Amino acid sequence: MGRLSPDCFDAAPAPMRVADAVALIRARLPVLSGIETVPLAGADGRVLAENLIAPLDLPPFDNAAVDGYALRAGDLAVEGETRLPIGGRVPAGHPAADPDPGAVVRIFTGAPMPPGTDTVAMQEDVRIEGGTVVLPEGLLPGSNRRRAGEDVARGSIVIRAGTRLGPQHIALAAACGMPALPLRKPLTVALFSTGDELTPPGQPLSPAGIFDANRPMLAALLKRLGANPVDLGILRDEPGPLRARIAGAAASHDLILTSGGVSVGEEDHVRAAVEASGALTFWRLAIKPGRPVALGTVAGTPFIGLPGNPAAAYVTALAVLRPLVLHLSGAHDTAPEMAVRSGFAREKRPGRREYLRVCLRAGPDGLPEAVQAPGGALSGLAGSDGLVELAEDLTAIRVGDALPYRPHGAFGGDTR
């Protein structure tokens, strides 16, 4: 497990903007995931640890892009059709012999170009008359030929380190002849919820209790990020045991994640527990929903604490936990920048970055637009398609404005 110095973060007494918090994470924290070699069959969704360098050209030789007839462009008539004898046949996967001078070679898609030939006439464009082929006027030199290395040049970087691999990357690695790849080990995350009021789903609920929604939600989000969540249960509001369990998790995990208990109330004990065996930068993020987010270290292991409210925990996980986990995992953030048109108007107080639950619908012109999702905190989140992001300095939204949009399905930045 990676260990950090207690002073890797400076204190942040004032509310911090989300972008500044993410920049601080990337500047101060090292990549913690180790490296292992994994067969290609197990590489989907994993993070490439080293640049993949092409060991050969792709395609490895000049070949035919279509079924047809290979020829020398110099044998084409200057005007009108060209009539040439058929002098051979080359299926895919077989070497090509030298063709007779002035002859064409029957060739199939992917077959190597016969020596000296540089052009392929599509079979649909020719006529066969006896043992000759009649080629159309206007066939351009080099037509329907794939050159060696035109897709990938030998020695070039074909997949960059930090890429979270999808089927398209696996196809490219396989085409390069790679049976296995160096991949980052999944980040191991100790996952806690905190609070006496919490009850695991499936157990009897006390009159003053609520079911714990955060651990299942955060575990699912961590898996989407390629991490390995380890569910360590609920931390009750007992300072001594809480401190011991958080400290114990530091020894065998890459990251500690809690929800709840990081504010400044009398029953919020997580902050003191972290400071007892590490250092804590307490962020009051300029974000809505959510404000109390704690970041620091416990015995050298990174720690992050999110708010206890599930909607706020989701939003702060999107804004801060997501870039933290991707960075510690050595993964690039590949989530595409998206914008949607606002289908609603709203006033906003400046100073905080705000995330609104939205549904997408077709506007009057058929283009997608976002409308605010109905329902409460969790029902609205579950019924929405994603979140729109309103910048700190924004004070009003008008119908038709372009708004940054994050669909729920892109939470992990997954390229698959």
> For residue range 151-177, what is the model confidence (pLDDT) as tens digits?
999 999 999 999 999 999 999 999 999
Reply yes or no on whether the pLDDT at 262 is more than 90.
no
**What does the DSSP assignment read for 185-236?**
PPPEEEEEEE-TTEE-TTSPPPTT-EE--HHHHHHHHHHHTT-EEEEEEEE-
Instruction: Note the pLDDT of residue 128.
Output: 94
What is the arithmetic mean of pLDDT over 322-340?
90
Confidence class for position 223, pLDDT limits 50, 70, 90: very high
Confidence of residue 203 (pLDDT cuts 50, 70, 90): very high
What's the pLDDT score for residue 275? 85
The closest of 334, 412, 2 to 188, measured between CA atoms, is: 2
How far, in Å, CA of 289 to CA of 138, rounded?
66
> Residue range 44-73: average pLDDT?
97
Indicate whether 271 pLDDT > 70: yes
Residue 217 identity (one-letter amino acid)? M
d(CA 14, CA 283): 8
Measured in whole angstroms, the distance separating CA 282 from the mean position of its chain's CA atoms is: 28
Least confident of 206-220, 247-261, 264-278, 331-345: 264-278
Q: Using CA atoms, how far apart are residues 198 and 288, in angstroms rounded to an integer?
A: 23
pLDDT of residue 59: 96
Q: What is the average per-residue pLDDT within 330-355?
A: 92
Contacts of 13 (CB under 8 A, 6+ apart): none
Q: How confident is the model at residue 9 (pLDDT cuts 50, 70, 90)?
A: very low
Rounded mean pLDDT, 172-186:
97
- The answer to whether residue 415 scores a pLDDT higher than 60 is no
pLDDT at 263: 64
Judge whether 176 and 54 are in contact, CB under 8 Å.
yes
pLDDT at 249: 95
Question: Over the chain, what is the mean pLDDT?
Answer: 91
Specify the pLDDT at position 75.
Answer: 95
pLDDT value at 49 more than 90: yes
pLDDT at 341: 96
Could you give the 3-state DSSP secondary structure of residue 405? strand
Tokens linked to 323: 């870039």
pLDDT exceeds cutoff 90 at 233: yes
Task: Say if residue 10's pLDDT is above 60.
Answer: no
Task: Report pLDDT for 265.
Answer: 53
311 or 413, which is more confident: 311
Determine what percent of the chain falls in helix, strand and coil, rounding each to the nearest 5: 20, 30, 45
Report the half-sphere exposure of 400 (CA within 13 A, side-chain side).
2
Strands 339-342 and 402-407: antiparallel
Q: Which two tokens stand for residue 72?
A: 């020398």
Amino acid at 248: G
Please list, in sequence order, all residues whose beta carbon lies within 8 angstroms of the beta carbon of residue 181, skipping any fewer than 6 positions away. Answer: 37, 38, 40, 43, 46, 48, 52, 165, 173
> CB within 8 A of 205, min separation 6: which ones?
199, 211
DSSP 50-108: SPEEPSS-BSSS-EESSSEEEE-GGGS-SSS-EEEEEEEEE-TTSPPPPPPTT-EEEE-
With 0.75 as the threshold, say if the pTM is over it.
yes
pLDDT number for residue 282: 62
CA distance 257 to 400: 39
Question: 7-11, 46-50, 106-110, 339-343: lowest mean pLDDT where?
Answer: 7-11
Q: Label residue 413 by pLDDT band (50, 70, 90).
A: low
Token reading at 191: 């996952």
Radius of gyration of the chain (CA): 30
Q: Which residues pair with 190 in a beta bridge?
A: 230, 256
Contact between 355 and 315 under an 8 Å Cβ cutoff? The reply is yes
What per-residue confidence (pLDDT) applies to 181? 98
- Does an H or E element contain 242, and which? helix 239-250
4 has pLDDT over 70: no
Give the alpha-carbon dihedral of 161, 167, 172, 174, to 10 degrees: 110
